[in-house]
Amino acid sequence: MLEVAIEAARAGAAVLRQAGLSSRAGDAKGPGDWVTEFDRASEEAILGVLARRAPGVPVLAEEAGGEWQPTMWSVDPLDGTTNFTRGLPVVGVSVGLLRDGVPVLGCVIAPWLGLEVAGGHGLGATVNGDQLPSLARTRERALEGAIVATGAPFRHKERLPSYLPVALGAQRRFEDLRRMGAAALDLAWCATGQLDGYFELGLGTWDLAGGAAVLLALGGRISDWQGGESWVRSGNILAGRPSVVESLLELARQAPDR
């Protein structure tokens, strides 16, 4: 099934590469929520591979939708659509498989950044075909040297009172924060060790499934903002190295209710 996920993600990435990277118009689905014809074309290519290679497995996709199932594919055909409409290359394609409601394998591709990360439970993970070490085998940075990614709740600004105290605390506690605009890539970079942690509120399952599966396969930790397991469906996520997640959790537990 990991081979299926990789083939499907590559099919979507190929559509985006063919489209090219330049500023273009999108259609607004809501405040700050954009879709383009290339989101839809990438998703169609991905769904075609999944239907052919894994018939009968339900799919929850960002554009086509679907019903939540304990075992299902979750697909984001173009993560970072706002970046894409402005010609910024921080764009990802994510395909993940959930079993019993937990991401167990996935693939994330950044078509213009030369990045393909894939892996799964019991399988380890690779970056561009090379095996990645588990996070336990890589050098642990002190918290004051950690680089942590985030995403502000730009579509739901009513969540800012919950988000801002955590962001401010993280800025004080860690070396620096990064705001990329593509959750799938933030999680992938946590898996590769280029980032140490990541936090956000209100993601879609398709945003996080592929990257979360790879991060978990390497011994990363993921929780919701109260230390529980609701993150897959709520999208309230703390992720990365266990020590960084524990530090983020300390901050999040002190924040106002989300």
Q: Which among 185, 16, 6, 180 has a CA at the least distance from the CA of 97?
A: 6
238: three-class secondary structure by DSSP: strand
Q: Which pTM does this prediction carry?
A: 0.95
Q: Give me the percent of the chain exceeding a pLDDT of 90.
A: 87
In a 13 Å sphere around the CA of 166, the CA atoms on its Cβ side amount to 34
The pLDDT value given to residue 30: 72
> Is residue 2 a contact partner of residue 105, using CB atoms and an 8 Å limit?
yes
Domains of the chain: 2-131 (3.30.540.10), 136-253 (3.40.190.80)
Q: Mean pLDDT score of the chain, rounded to an integer? A: 95
Average pLDDT over residues 199-212: 97
Pull the structure tokens for residue 142: 């002190």
Q: Which of 25-34, 214-223, 228-237 has the lowest mean pLDDT?
A: 25-34
